[in-house]
Amino acid sequence: MAVAQSTVPEDPTDRGALRAAGQEIRDLMAQAAGAGARLVQFPEGAITYPGKHVMAAGPDGRLIPADWSRAAWDVLREEAESIAALAGRLGLWTVFGSIHPLTPPNRPHNSLYVVTDRGRLVARYDKRFLSHTEVSFLYSPGQEPLVVEVDGIRFGFALCIEANFPEVFAEYERLDVDCVLLSVMVDDAPRARVAQAYGTLYNYWLGYSVPAQFSGTAPAGIVAPGGRWLARCPADGRPALAVADLDLDSEDEDIGAATRYVRPWRRSARAGLYAERLPIGDPRSGSRTTF
């Protein structure tokens, strides 16, 4: 698997910037395929993540509902279709962020598109937990998790602020995913530490994709079950890839322990393991005021 940090433009009306972002995505896709990756992950809003002051600023500077008719929807669609076509030519599963238009007057979703190695769009994850600004002025929330299987590995998907909602990642553990792809558009070192923590807590792999322009704070990378960073991009503000193998039968000591022992044990602990061992009725257990 490859995880990319690419340059994310913030103005969906800037046709040139959208096309440049699409070309950069395709360049990184070719590099990922050349490195032997079967799947490549891109940031939230990889084609564009609209800045709130670009799309939702009123004449006096206060935020108002975004006027989505201003977005260059034709270019966004063309770039997405070009990315999908290249995925088919390269034989590369590709996950990338963009805005997904709905029927007016509904606001768009903030989404991750999932394209197969044959170039077919097979799924879309819509961001469920939105920021106050996003839900007030910009987007419609999504409704459900998404799990996609690639070469026997089950992937879940999450976007940016959802890192702050542990229930999203606990749900994916219950859905038996092997890896969660978390794509963000944020300049925030703690967000990367939270992502790493989910690898420790839930013992699955985690792809963390961040815009190249924010990589100086926390670059993109891949977390192993147990919480170790397997690979990270350079923290230099430039587009790059982190590449690592996701091996369900890994012989790495920490990964093997996490997937074969720790994860099953924690599941059993959550499933009532302790119920029959509770010392019900023992006064020495019930009293909290004696030594």
Q: What is the mean pLDDT of residues 99-128?
A: 97
What's the N-to-C CA distance of the chain in angstroms?
55
Peptide bond into 105 cis (omega under 30): yes
**Tens-place pLDDT, residues 132-170:** 999 999 999 999 999 999 999 999 999 999 999 999 999
Q: What is the mean pLDDT of residues 282-289?
A: 94
Is residue 127 predicted with pLDDT exceeding 90?
yes
Two tokens, residue 51:
């800045």
DSSP β-bridge partners for residue 97 = 112
Q: For the residues of 108-168, what is the DSSP string, one character each?
A: PEEEEEEE-TTS-EEEEEE--S--HHIIIII--------EEEETTEEEEEEEGGGGG-HHH
Please give the pLDDT value at position 79. Answer: 98
Is residue 248 predicted with pLDDT exceeding 90?
yes
Q: What is the mean pLDDT of residues 245-256?
A: 94
**Would strands 39-41 and 147-150 be described as parallel, antiparallel, or unpaired?**
unpaired
CB 97 within 8 A of CB 45: yes
Please give the pLDDT value at position 114. Answer: 98
Q: How far apart are CA 131 and CA 111, in angstroms?
A: 14
Q: How far apart are CA 47 and CA 233, in angstroms?
A: 20
Threshold 0.85, pTM exceeds: yes
**Would strands 240-243 and 229-232 be described as parallel, antiparallel, or unpaired?**
unpaired
Question: Which residues have CB under 8 Å from 186's CB, separation 6+?
Answer: 160, 161, 210, 214
Is residue 52 predicted with pLDDT exceeding 90?
no
